[in-house]
Amino acid sequence: MFKSIKAAFSKEPLEITFDQLPVIMNQEFARELATYMQRAECLSQQIVETFSDLKELLKQLKAAPATTSFTELTKNNFCDRACERIDAITIPPAAWPAYRTFVGDAEEAMTLINNPSLKEFKQLHQFKTIMTQIASKAKTVDAKIIEFRKMLETGTSKKVLDVFDAYETIKERQQELAHLGETIAMTEKSIPFLVDEVGKNDREIEMNRLKLSELHELEIEIENKKTQLDTLSKQLDQSFSGMDKLFRLFFHQHETYEDTLKSYAVQPKETFLLHDAENRLPTLLAELEKEINNGAIDCDDKRKEHVSDLAKTPAMLLTLKADYLRLRQSIQFLNQELAEKEEPFLRAMRHAQETKSQNERQVEALREKRQKRLDDRQEAERVLRADTSVLLMSLSDLLNREIVLRS
């Protein structure tokens, strides 16, 4: 080992680029690789031919008569499985990975042929002559496979081919790393674009918020009218306070009135405002006052005075009603106007907020994806450096010379 290290450093370091590596390997080991590939091709040919001989013997075994149907079935199953494995073994392309696969397939086929189950062994024992021929031919195949396996796993040629394998692996890693870099770059370009879109969404939301604020005067007008309406409602509450009981007594004596007017006995204010379209209240109050004055309806002086005041000022009640209904209609109109003006801005704001949320989620997802890819790239770079270091050590050992990789 120390002699190898000393010899390696007794020469000037060899500076090469990564892409020059296979060229140098072919230059240095062309003859040896040619011999290796020639021998591999020869061995694969011999193994395939010997397997063909084995298949013929298996066909003879299958055709041989058996003493029982069970033996016949066992024998045929064994032969069919073995022949199926043999049929899958063909001369491989002249390439190192293909030869490794070829040897592995050949070994699996021989494992099946050399190791029948105990049941199969007992049934096949009666075909001793042909089984002996199969065993003899199997030894020949096994010897060739062992020779091929040894050639694949030992010697300088194997080391050279390992270097080629490592070179191809590193090339693939470099391509993956380059693709990963491109993906990261694309992701990093997408993030600022989406962040800018979020800013646009914020500006759109604020613009619509300002437009909504411009409707504040209309909202104030509505609130003022609601306050006025509430004041009128309280005045009417005072006017109709306790009147439901008096109207109940009145309608009890005058049942001929229609049901609409009879609702004064339940909700006098609501009936006056919403259900007495013909404004019959002044007439009812005059008749109610008359009934109270002639003693038909009994009530205290305070209530009597209140009814008298209402009966004398029907115009005031009708004015209150007209003002109330006008205000209520005005509020309804203004609310409708406000809703119609607000809706486009609210709809645009909701859309901008939803779009903003989507963009923010995409930004977060892209940032997480970018970080994961950055971590992946860091790990890929670490693996690439380690693989390259091992490759250079192997190449240095083969060339007996220090190798320096130039960018």
Per residue in 110-148, pLDDT (tens digit) is 998 888 888 887 888 888 888 899 999 999 999 999 999
Measured CA to CA, the distance from residue 297 to residue 4 in angstroms comes to: 134
Residue 11: the pLDDT is: 66
pLDDT value, residue 261: 76
CB atoms within 10 A of CB 228: 15
Residue 186 has pLDDT above 60, yes or no: yes
Closest C-alpha to 24, from 405, 407, 385, 389: 405
Looking at the predicted structure, is the pLDDT value of residue 7 above 70? no
Give dist(CA 138, CA 166) in Å, integer: 35
Q: d(Cα 194, Cα 360) in Å, to the nearest integer?
A: 8
Segment 237-263, tens digit of pLDDT? 888 888 888 888 888 877 767 777 788
Going by C-alpha positions, the residue among 45, 42, 124, 40 that lies closest to residue 82 is: 124
Average the pLDDT over 97-117 and give the result: 90
Per cent of the chain over pLDDT 90 is 36
Domains annotated for the chain, with CATH where assigned, are 2-153 (1.20.120), 156-407 (no CATH)
User: What band does 3 get if pLDDT is binned at 50, 70 and 90?
Assistant: very low
pLDDT at 256: 66
At residue 293, the pLDDT reads: 86
- Strand, helix or coil for residue 17: strand
Checking if the pLDDT of 1 tops 60, the result is: no
Distance from C-alpha of 341 to C-alpha of 139, rounded to nearest angstrom = 96
- Measure the CA–CA gap between 160 and 24, rounded to whole angstroms: 11
pTM, to two decimals: 0.54
Closest CA to 260 of 277, 246, 243, 244: 277
Find the angle CA(326)-CA(218)-CA(352) to the nearest 5 degrees: 135
Backbone angles phi, psi at 255, to 5 degrees: -80, -5
- Residue 388: which residues within 8 A CB-CB, separation 6 or more? 18, 170, 405
What does the alpha-carbon distance between residue 205 and residue 198 come to, in Å, rounded to a whole number? 10
Q: What mean pLDDT comes out for the span 208-230?
A: 86
CA neighbor of 321 nearest in space, from 375, 281, 294: 281
pLDDT at res. 122: 83
pLDDT at 399 over 60: yes
Confidence of residue 265 (pLDDT cuts 50, 70, 90): confident
Average pLDDT, the chain: 87
User: Quick check: 182 pLDDT over 80?
Assistant: yes
Residues facing 406 on adjacent strands = 17
pLDDT, tens digit, for every residue of 280-298? 889 888 888 888 888 888 8
Residue 272 and residue 232 in contact, taking contact as beta carbons nearer than 8 Å: no
Read off the tokens for 314.
Answer: 């029907």
The predicted-structure confidence for 331-349, as pLDDT tens digits, reads as follows 898 888 888 888 888 888 8
52: nearest Cα among 76, 82, 75: 82
